[in-house]
Amino acid sequence: MNYLVIPDSFWSALGYIGTVLLLVAGAIIAQAIWGGRRSWMPTCRKCGYDLRGVAADTSTCPECGADLSRPGAVPTGRVRVRPVLLGFGVMLGVLAGFLVWYLQPERIEAMRARLIASTPLDLLIESVLGGGSGDELALKSLDARSGFGGRTRTIPSGELLDGFVAAIARHDESKRGPIGARLPKLQMVASALDRDECTRLAQLVVDQLVASDGADRRLLGLALLAQQSGGSATSGLRSAIRERLKQSDDGRRFLLPAPPAAAVAASRRALELEFSTMLSDMDAAGRSAVLDDSGRFVLERAEYLPSGTGAAIEFRSLPLPDGSASDEVESRVRLLVDAPAGKGRLVLTGVVVPSGAIRMDVPLTLQSARDLPGAIPHTMETVLEVQAPRIFKPQLVTDEAVLDAVALSCGNATFGGGASESLRLQVDIFPRNGQSAGVRPRNYSFDVLIVQDGSTRRMGSLMGGARSRSIAGGSMPKAVDTTRPFEIVLRPDLARVAMLDENDARMMSGEFVWAEFRLKFPSSILPPKVEWAALPTGRPTLEPIEEATGEIAEGGTLEQRLQRLAAMLVPLRLGDGAPASPEPGLAIAATDAEAATLARSLPLCGILEVLSDGALIAPERVVIGSMLDDGSSSYRLPSDLGHAPTIVVRYTPDPDLAMPTAEGTMRFVALPFELVYEGGKAPELRVLPKPAP
């Protein structure tokens, strides 16, 4: 019998049965004692005097003078006790008392659990999957019978898997919710599958995938659950499923990589797609699982098909960021989204090379991939939404409670580093464990300066917040005497956040601490005294630097200063001949300190684009401040440009990107220009016509 169908209301009402019976027994006993009379003799209720000889119209009792005309003053007959009814009431009362004592909530729950434990396995599993009444008790019963908590499994081999299969087959997803949402509750039960059951489950998974053309993955979800449980018998499920899929052409299709079902990217920025297979989540290694399952996907063409009648747009493949591990390279592709805002389909065409045919020490090109044994042409498709680039608009936090909390944290600032290393400032603006002095963490971005004897030097930066943070604020300049008093200044710099990559900037969006903090150190080994000062709020006052010709000012006209700066930038570096750039790339970097100083005097506010033959070849970047970005603005360039390409870096001013500054005024070059890189020479400056308002 399926005891799970008995509603909770019945078990709740069961505890009140004894109380109800006790009330009924009391009523029966009262009726047995006082409910009947015998004889017709009238008497005075007050004194019991026999009134048979008294005239009927007498209004007072001759014995005691009581008012006989009052209702009920003259009862007739005597009380009669009914022993049978009294005995029944007493027996019922004893039974009711026993039920009140016995039917305690814990006993009722134990009774229900014993009944549920006798329910067939498939019904128990189906109850947990459906989330119905008694599912927690069903889960406890399953845990106990499957051996969870150090107990011995009491389910015969084969019955546990049969129960799972039968319950999953009966589960109606359209009416009771997706099975995947409830299946994880059964992870401990799934870990009890024995080796024979796992062998049979692997075959059932493959049969279900092939028969449904991949649409039905419920048993795959069970296998994934069992694999993740870490049970000794379930640890080889992924390998067993993979090997069975490899045995047929239909099965091998499920091992090919696939992108996410939908993606979002900003126009003229980079999009990274990470591939996966159906079995990827069955291995903690994650990305390496894709390599094991499908090999490497070598991209041939990425075509974006806008919704409607728009023409197809081909996206350029971009190099992955520096530091990508080899297993990451196998499972990702990076594309330049050179399309207007809108929605459409992104179709990726290429070749999948089996992992056994790949040699990590040999570069793999599209042509060489096609020639390798076992290579399979493969096309993938995903839905892509292209959005307009986000304009970063911070909210400035000037709440004194927040600023006092930051100052309190800065009071714990220290310096680290060995005897042979530069001292590094370490200050935890908002502790990782959440609240700081009862204040919710905000984001922050500080330029770190050091002041001693009236001289100011830059040390580094601090940036972070509630989800991502840095606690090292840069190295101590050697010119600073750390045994004497000095000051560390934390000056907000939101321009650095605005120039972050789209994904990184998304993590930093929101509210930013807006005050300048001064940490006054008696020496590097003593704690500082901390002061903070409010800064101007609102949009900055813009001061465009836009004269292209005219009188010779300090350092020359704007164009002359830009020409001089361009001549001091390093040339384009490509390939192995450039020790600072082993990969094909472009570094907008100064040759000496004089160039860095000149660049800081020519701050930018706008967009940098990198083009070749008039086409965008790298994601556009927001630049606010020096174009050198503290020494380097590096771009990794596509490998199909050849060995001697002409690269153009175009600057387009955009005052809408301006950030609040500590000074309240923002200066920027309002003249558009290009830096043209050719061969091994410094770039040539080209001033562009100023765009119409």
pLDDT digits (tens, 9 = 90+) for 561-604: 999 999 988 888 775 444 444 455 788 888 788 888 888 889 99
Task: Evaluate whether 425 touches 448 at the Cβ level (below 8 Å).
Answer: yes
CB distance 3 to 112 below 8 Å: yes
Measured between its terminal Cα atoms, the distance across the chain in Å is 81
Poorest-confidence range of 215-224, 375-384, 464-473, 670-679? 464-473
Q: Write the CATH number of the domain with boundaries 256-387.
A: 2.60.40
* Window from 117-131, 441-455, 548-562 with minimum mean pLDDT: 548-562
* 637: DSSP letter: P
pLDDT in tens, 160-189: 899 888 888 887 665 666 777 788 888 888
The least confident of 240-244, 305-309, 430-434, 506-510 is 430-434
Q: Which amino acid is at 308?
A: G
Single out the residue of 368, 298, 281, 383 nearest to residue 333, CA to CA: 298
Segment 54-63 shows an average pLDDT of 83
Angle between helices 121-130 and 135-146 (to 10 degrees): 130
Instruction: Tell me what the mean pLDDT of segment 527-553 comes to.
Output: 80
* Spatial distance between the Cα atoms of 667 and 688, rounded to a whole number of angstroms: 20
Cα(662)–Cα(516) distance, rounded to whole angstroms?
8
- For residues 182 and 219, the answer to whether their CB atoms sit within 8 Å is no
For the residues 542-565, what does the mean pLDDT come to?
A: 76
| pLDDT confidence tier of residue 329, bands split at 50, 70 and 90 | very low
Residues 6 or more apart whose Cβ sits within 8 Å of residue 464: 429, 430, 443, 444, 470, 471
Please give the pLDDT value at position 201: 92
DSSP 43: B
Q: Which of 312-316, 475-479, 581-585 has the lowest mean pLDDT?
A: 581-585
pLDDT interval class at 693 (50, 70, 90): low
Among 11-20, 332-341, 437-446, the minimum mean pLDDT is found in: 11-20
**If residue 532 lies in a helix (H) or strand (E), which one and from where to where?**
strand 529-534
Q: Mind listing the pLDDT tens digit for each residue in 76-123?
A: 766 667 788 778 888 988 888 887 777 777 776 666 666 656 677 777
Structure tokens at 596: 């860095």
- Token pair belonging to 372: 């390798």
Q: What is the C-alpha to C-alpha distance for residues 103 and 20, in angstroms, rounded to an integer?
A: 13
pLDDT for position 342: 93
User: Which 3 state secondary structure label does DSSP give 12?
Assistant: helix
pLDDT of residue 549: 53
Compute the average pLDDT of residues 210-219. Answer: 87
**Is pLDDT of 551 > 50?**
no
Amino acid 7: pLDDT: 57
Give pLDDT, residue 410: 92
Q: How is the chain split into domains, by residue range?
A: 120-253, 256-387, 395-534, 542-687
pLDDT digits (tens, 9 = 90+) for 392-417: 888 899 999 889 989 998 999 998 87
pLDDT at 628: 79
Structure tokens at 403: 């600023």
- Asked whether the predicted pLDDT for residue 231 surpasses 80, the reply is no
The pLDDT score that the predictor gives to residue 39 is 57
What is the average pLDDT score of the chain? 81
